[in-house]
Structure 1
Amino acid sequence: MSGPEFHVPTTDFTFSTERDLSDVDEIAYPQSSRFYGRDNGSFDSESYLTSTSDVAVDQNGAIYSPQSSRKVYLNPPYIHDSDIDWSGTNKTMGAKFSPNSVNGLVCYVFGKEPKEKNEEVEDEILQDQIYTCPLSRTIDDRRSFYNDSYLKFMEAARVDRKDIIRTIKLCNIYLDYSRLIKNRTKKLNEKLNAMKFIDENFKDEKTQLELLTFQDIFAVWELCRIIYIPSKQEYNQFGQLSLELIKWINHCFPLHPLNEDEEEHLEQLQQNQELHQDEFFWSRLCGLVIRGLPEAKIFLKNIDKNDGSEFSDYVKLVLDILDTRPRVTELEYHEFNLRRHEWLSKISDLQTKLRGKSFLEGRINDILMILRGHTKTIIEKSSTWQEALGGLVYHVRPTCDAQELKNILNVILEKIDTCSTALDDALIEFIFRRVEKGIQHCERIDLWLSAHLSDILNKLDLVGRIHSQSSHQKQNNIITQPDIDIREHYLLSYAESMVFHTTLWQLAFKYFEHCETCGYSYMSQLVVRIPFEDEFKANKLLSICKENGLTFQEKTISRILGKKYWQNERYASAIVYFINAGDTASLEVIYRRFLDNYIDTGKLTFLDTVESIQLDDDSPVSIKFLSRYRLFHALKQNGEVQRAGAILMELLRAQVAPISFWPVLLLNALPLLQEGKSRKMIIFSTQDTLEILRNLQDVTSFVYQEEFLACIERLKKWHTQENGYPELDNNLTALRLALLQNSADCYIENSSSPWMFE
């Protein structure tokens, strides 16, 4: 039991009490935490990642030596700019886009060390306090939507690629997604209408923007369903695409509703029987006819004078043509073509009758040209390229398939300039069947759309792979990340947006689990950055680590929990988590603290703590020492002095206790010797006695004299006759005499044994 004392760092570990930021409007900072208690928001890298090695690496990859006292802040308290006199600190606050979040900022405190403090590295930039700040709270309003869509995502994940009915299952899941989008849009509309009912001047720009986003999401989602994912068998029949497409255009890109002035204008013209002379009326009517809307008949009936004039007769003929249009879904292919040919001939005959009648030919003939499928007229009369596309498909190629849409769109784009919006770009790419580019534009609309759309289309083998790089790699031209499929690329981006949300962070890790190439890497980096307010959330994080084999991260979180419970004086829980983390240094600190407390007070405060911990052969020797020392005191208190003596000798021979505790172990032999003397029992054998004497000689020698005397002085505070303990001297005379007497007793007992006379 000799050798120098093993030095263990005793730097206190602290965590932050974060300020409640519920009053901050736009930027959602991490919220306050009851679990963090009274801590100051930092930890020393030395105490956080203490190990037997000479260096430690923090979560950001920075390397520190054990002697470093620099503090690293993972989740510090928020500081208002007005709370600090920055001129006196030589620091300021800054922000940049987070490399680990697609829609967040990293805020930090930085500055230069004063020259008088550090002349050699005066330009060192300090970035100690780091905050992860989401830029928007939109995600809070979507929690229900995200939870429901996650359930559908899990349903899609369970679909086996080898399943015969895989396509049918995915189509049904796709339709369920559509219902979720519709419900979200409906709720947003109801919210806006309810507020407008209360206040006509009410403008909720945030909700309005969210509504527009979901309308764009629905437009893209439905177009992909029409083109790529027929939900029923009859969608493959001729003509179904045209009906679905015109329905999609009317729903997603409707004609703007008439305002009060326009309605009043049309009513006045109708009363004066001047509708047929109004340009706006005919323009509106052409749009209704192009879209195949039934309102076109109502408009025509409004100008029918019913006066037996030639004008009224021609209007009725146009109405008859609208009524007799062949319905593509009600007829067989050949029968439909035959009836459509007869119907087009009927239109041609009416156009022939209109020749020479300048007014009727100029107005009604435009309607007839649209119905007949005249490409140039449809494009000229269309207000948007989407309307033109629907008109050409509905009136010109009602039996076309999805492959022909790109040819039709090419004709339109030669005549109509499109707006360079994310929605327009995405729709055009999907119509041209450039799925990867379409999904890239979807990211500009919303991350949810790009993630879940690519997930479904990937399962239908419609998307390929791309090369993915982080922002850091792009800036430094580093190419290390492997090619991943588009699905995984956008799922990772979507999951990142939820990582630091207070409730949806668990969904983020579920999405990471379904990213085969890079999901593990993302989880390993982000799981240790999740702030946990209580043990319940911390255990969820530990479960994620266990389920995904994140051993280092599991130990890191366990170490943080151990430090936290240590601060709160819940030592049993702290020891358990330190054992799980393999943090022998922190366990050594607790072990030393228990021993020091016993030296100073004589109180066995650790007995109950150690008793509640289940130990095995792999448990740390320091904790097993405390367990055996607890057993020693329990046996001594119960009068089992011989067993207690055996345990004490085991502790002495183990050479686990620090030098400062050697005198305590040696003095623990004195009451056992006295008890054995009174009960005429031999507690220690001759060999045990000699070993105790040898240890006593070592501890009082010149080498360890300083530690020995310091321990004796501390023990004298409570080793008094009034407390039932013998008075101590610097030579432990009472113990020496008791050991010599025990040696004599052992010799006498051995001399009287029968074998001595054989």
Structure 2
Amino acid sequence: MDEVDNAQIIVIADDVCRRAGIATTWISSNRFGIHAYKHVDKYSQDIRSQFAPCDARVHFLRPEIILFSPLLRKLVNESNGIFLSIQKLKSSSGDIRPELLKHSKQYRSILRACVENLQEILPKESLSEEKTMLENFLTIFYQVECLWHLTEILYVDIVPGDVVLPQLLEWISFHFPSRELAASKILSQKTMCADLENINYWEAIMGCAFHGKLNLVCRLLALHSKADHSAFITADNIIRTMPVYNVYGGYSVNEFIMRWKHWQMDLCSNLETNCFVIDNNLEMLMKLIAGDESVLWEYSMYTEAWYELLAAKLFYSAPCCKQLELSRYANSVAERWQANRHLDRVILALMENDLYQVIKEIQYMSDNGWFAAHLMDLLYKCGKLNILSKEKTNVTAQLHESLILEYGTTLMSHRSLWQCGASYLIHCSTQGLARLEILLQSLPTGTEARINKIIDVARDNNMPHVVTSICKIQGMKSIRQGRLGNALTWALKAHDGNFITYIADQFLKHYAEYGELECRDLLENLGSCMLASDRLTFLGKYCEFHHMYGMDEYREAASLLVSLLVSNLTPKYFWSILLTDAIPLLEAEDVIFSSNDCYELLRCVEAHGDDPKFQDKISIFRIGVARNLARALSLEGCQAEH
């Protein structure tokens, strides 16, 4: 179809939009919001809107992505694996064409599996809408597989001597199997006089002849009612001895052409002597095999496409045709056939070696860019692409990247396939990572497992600010939900010191207000993460103090408390709490604080004891320190004497 045929009119059933006009806003990679909009600028009259009040609505628009169908999920995932495998191939290690051919066959294999799966499902579908969708899928991917096969023959699987006909015949037979099936049906009946019994007898023979299936032609002729006649015996002998080019047959191209021309002269001699006049169909068959183009076109009714006719013309007139000569023959046949379907144009462009036109045409195949991205990537790796702009500058690399970029962007818009899409963007060296960075931040988050996958992709591709941004958003959500432990986990993943400090403050303020530490298990197992910020270090150590106190490890708890008091890490609002925590330890039966600890406590209370919340405890604190100091000095004096 042409570009014009692809245009589609979307009707928006919205009266406000109709009266006021519309505007569109980009939402995500392939999703747009359309809403009513009346343009107003500084010159507009300041009057009340004629549309207010109204039911304003936003209409979401996005193209149909057939690749998002569950039926095609396997195709998308498996082709992604092949694509990534191709990216790992290194040309420095030698000729990679055999490897690329292997990967091309793998692509064709999954396309064939996809087509066969659709063919299997189609008869079981009862809903007309679903049936139409399946038929559409089947048409698209049958054509994709057909074109991929031809591209592989012409550009990937390069045979010695560059003679394309043997593979071209194989391609024709594979995609038009009805001729051989009809012949097999007649042969399976094993009845003589098949020409009298079966009305499709000669149609099957001519169809097989068009495909170069001469063995089947001979077997069918043997079932003719006049098979014992000398004309049929001569025809059988001539057909069986026809030289067929094989690159591994032991003959050079020139030697083969000489043998083939001698054989053709012998056939033409028999035709001139009316050797086959006994049966008109037999004579037409032998004229076709002799390369008579008028017969070729006369019997073109037995073919479905112009390239079937092309293969027959080459087989009987130019069996050693090379790829460079293919364009001339293809054009003459296509022009006379008046081939103008979309598939015809792509095949002709492939045979003309016009890959720019091929790229242009296959982007209209409604497969959402799967074909263009993967095929052009393969050809690029094969070194077959050489696309020039109007200014004659080479734009091959840019075109190659843009196709992969668009395909990857399409997949990024799907909830499950976004990782697959990301793997394509990563291999676009110029714009890929910048595009990925934008799209990662626009992905819907959902579960924590999904968010962690997004973060992993960002981290693997050196996007620390994307990681930080996502983690901070999740951290703030957790704070609003009252889940401080979860918020701290996200802050630590973000490696954002300020955010970590903010959340640690929330823990401390919650303790200051309610007298309990949340998420003790998390705080007691911070490990080296505790060093991410000074405030978190203080929080972790304070939690450790509570743990020691709860385990009756009073001396260790007291030592840690003093170290917190002298560390300069204590927030202003928390001094009164630390000083209050010291009181029970000061009044313990055993001497917990040393004299030096007591001096530090006195210094701290002088510096920070003016907190109103501590005023009712300050006298108890001072008395406790004084008593503890006296006991500590006495104890230390006795220990010194010993």
Q: TM-score if structure 1 supplies the norm length?
A: 0.65
Q: Secondary structure at the match of 2:526?
A: coil
1:346-357 map, 5 Å: 346-354=266-274
Asked if residue 463 in structure 1 is aligned to residue 346 in structure 2, the reply is: no
Asked if the contact 2:576/2:608 (under 8 Å) is kept, the reply is no
For 1:409, the aligned partner's letter is A
Kindly indicate whether residue 324 of structure 2 is the aligned counterpart of residue 403 of structure 1: yes
1:204 counterpart SS class = helix
Q: Distance in 1 between matches of 2:546 and 2:531?
A: 24
Question: Which one of 583, 586, 593 corresponds to residue 506 of structure 2?
Answer: 593
- Asked if structure 1 preserves the Cα contact closer than 8 Å seen for 2:153 and 2:168, the reply is yes
**Is residue 165 of structure 2 the alignment partner of residue 219 of structure 1?**
no
After TM superposition, give the deviation of residue 408 of structure 1 in Å.
1.2
Unaligned 5+ segments in structure 2 are: 1-11, 39-45, 187-192, 390-394, 638-642
Q: Which moved more, 1:348-357 or 1:544-553?
A: 348-357
Among 76, 100, 120, the alignment partner of 2:29 is: 100
Q: How far is the alpha carbon of 1:216 from its aligned partner?
A: 1.3
2:245 corresponds to: 328
Partner Cα separation in structure 2 for residue 208 and residue 92 of structure 1: 38
C-alpha contact (below 8 Å) 2:484/2:507 kept by paired residues:
no
Q: 1:242 aligned to 153, 162, 165, which one? A: 165
Aligned residue in 1 for 2:409 = 496
* CA deviation after TM superposition for structure 1 residue 177, in Å: 2.8
Partners of 1:593 and 1:537 lie apart in 2 by 27
Q: Give the superposition deviation at 1:620.
A: 1.5
Question: For the Cα contact (< 8 Å) 2:211–2:308, is it kept in 1?
Answer: yes
Offset at residue 337 of structure 1 (A): 3.2
Residue of structure 1 equivalent to 2:135:
208
Q: Does 1:667 align with 2:580?
A: yes
Kindly provide the CA deviation profile for residues 37-86 of structure 1, in whole angstroms up to 9, marking residues without a partner as x: xxxxxxxxxxxxxxxxxxxxxxxxxxxxxxxxxxxxxxxxxxxx9xxx99
Taking structure 1 as reference, are residues 532 and 223 closer, same or farther at Cα in structure 2, changes over 3 Å only? same
Q: Distance in 2 between matches of 1:305 and 1:356?
A: 15
What is the rounded CA distance, in whole Å, between the counterparts of 1:753 and 1:86 in structure 2?
92
- Evaluate the alpha carbon distance shift between residue 565 and residue 663 of structure 1 in structure 2; reply closer, same or farther with a 3 A threshold: same
Deviations 1:81-105 (A, max 9, x none): 9xxx999xxx99998887624xxx3
Contact 2:591 2:631 in 1 (8 A): no
Name the amino acid aligned to 1:344.
Answer: Q
| Amino acid in structure 2 at the alignment position of 1:385 | W
2:101 maps to what in 1?
A: 171
Give per-residue Cα distances to partners, 1:203-245, cap 9 Å, x unaligned: 83333332222221221122122212237xxx3257x521221
Q: Distance in 2 between matches of 1:547 and 1:215?
A: 38
Q: Superposed, which structure 2 residues align to 1:214-363 within 5 Å?
A: 214-230=141-157, 235-237=159-161, 241-253=164-176, 286-294=206-214, 296=217, 305-306=225-226, 317-329=234-246, 332-333=251-252, 336-354=256-274
- Work out the CA distance in 1 between the residues paired with 2:35 and 2:543: 48
Alignment-mate amino acid for residue 562 of structure 1: G
Aligned to 2:347: 427
Q: Which residue number in structure 2 is paired with residue 161 of structure 1?
A: 91
In the alignment, structure 1 segments of 5+ residues that lack a partner are: 1-80, 113-118, 264-269, 468-481, 701-711, 713-730
Pairwise CA distance, 1:189? 2.9
Q: What CA distance in whole angstroms lies between the structure 2 residues aligned with 1:433 and 1:377?
A: 29
User: How far 1:616 moved relative to its partner?
Assistant: 5.2
Shift of 1:398: 0.2
* Cα displacement string for residues 596-652 of structure 1 (whole angstroms, at most 9, x for unaligned residues): 432343223343331121235741222112112223334445566666555445545
* CA distances 1:558-577 after superposition (whole Å, capped 9, x unpaired): 33443455566654443132
2:622 to 727, 732, 739: 739
Equivalent residue runs for 1:520-669 within 5 Å: 520-563=433-476, 566=479, 571-584=484-497, 586-615=499-528, 618-637=531-550, 644=557, 647-648=560-561, 650-652=563-565, 659-669=572-582
Moved more, 654-663 or 345-354: 654-663
- Do the aligned partners of 1:185 and 1:214 also contact (CA within 8 Å) in 2? yes
1 or 2 for the larger relative contact order (CA 8 Å, sep ≥6)?
A: 1
Partner amino acid, structure 1, of 2:315: Y
C-alpha distance in 1 between matches for 2:104 and 2:181: 34
User: Is the Cα contact below 8 Å between 1:429 and 1:435 reproduced in 2?
Assistant: yes
Q: Deviations over 1:657-715 (max 9, x none)?
A: 55544443343343344348987965754464144133223x34xxxxxxxxxxx5xxx
Residues 291 and 387 of structure 1 are in contact (CA less than 8 Å); yes or no, is this contact kept in structure 2?
Answer: yes
Conservation of the 8 A alpha-carbon contact between 2:226 and 2:232: no
Q: Distance in 1 between matches of 2:565 and 2:58?
A: 46
Three-state SS of the structure 2 residue aligned to 1:444 is: coil
Aligned equivalents of 2:201, 2:25: Cα separation in 1: 54
How many residue pairs align between the two structures?
589
Deviates more, 1:149-158 or 1:202-211: 202-211
Amino acid paired to 1:370: L
Residue pairs, 1:446-485, within 5 angstroms: 446=367, 447-464=369-386, 484-485=397-398
Q: Distance in 2 between matches of 1:747 and 1:200?
A: 95
Percent identity between matched residues is 19
Would you say the 8 A contact 1:375–1:392 is kept in 2?
yes
Question: How far apart are the structure 2 equivalents of 1:156 and 1:394?
Answer: 35
2: CA distance between counterparts of 1:397 and 1:184?
A: 36
1:134/1:657 Cα in 2 relative to 1: closer, same or farther (>3 Å)? farther
Residue equivalent to 2:362: 442
In structure 2, C-alpha distance between the alignment counterparts of 1:409 and 1:368, rounded to whole Å: 23
CA distance, structure 1, for counterparts of residue 117 and residue 361 of structure 2: 26
Aligned letter for 1:328? Y
Counterpart-to-counterpart distance in 1, 2:551 and 2:47: 65
Would the aligned equivalents of 1:684 and 1:742 in 2 still touch at CA under 8 Å? Answer: no
Verify the 8 A CA contact 1:674 1:738 in the aligned structure 2: no
Cα RMSD of the aligned pairs, angstroms, is 4.9
With over 3 angstroms needed to count, the CA separation of the structure-2 counterparts of 1:634 and 1:172, relative to structure 1, is closer
Q: Equivalent residue for 2:190?
A: none
Which structure features the higher share of helix residues?
2
> CA 1:200 to 1:449, structure 2 compared with 1: closer, same or farther past 3 Å?
closer
Preserved CA contact (<8 Å) 1:106 1:133: no
C-alpha distance in 1, partners of 2:244/2:385?
35
Tell me if the contact between 2:591 and 2:628 (Cα under 8 Å) persists in the aligned partners: no
In structure 2, the CA distance between the partners of 1:283 and 1:313, relative to structure 1 (3 Å rule), is same
Contact 2:501/2:534 (CA < 8 Å) preserved in 1? no
Question: Relative to structure 1, is the Cα distance of residues 224 and 678 closer, same or farther in structure 2, using a 3 angstrom cutoff?
Answer: closer
Q: Which amino acid aligns with 1:732?
A: Q
Are 1:689 and 1:742, in contact at CA under 8 Å, matched by a contact in 2?
A: yes
Are the equivalent residues in 1 in contact too, given 2:511–2:517 (CA < 8 A)?
yes
Report how far residue 432 of structure 1 moved.
1.1
Tell me the distance in 2 between the aligned counterparts of 1:200 and 1:748. Answer: 93
Give per-residue Cα distances to partners, 1:382-406, cap 9 Å, x unaligned.
3532122212211111011111101
1:394 and 2:318 are equivalent in the alignment: no
TM-score, normalised by the number of residues in structure 2 = 0.75
| Structure 2 residue identity aligned to 1:443 | Q
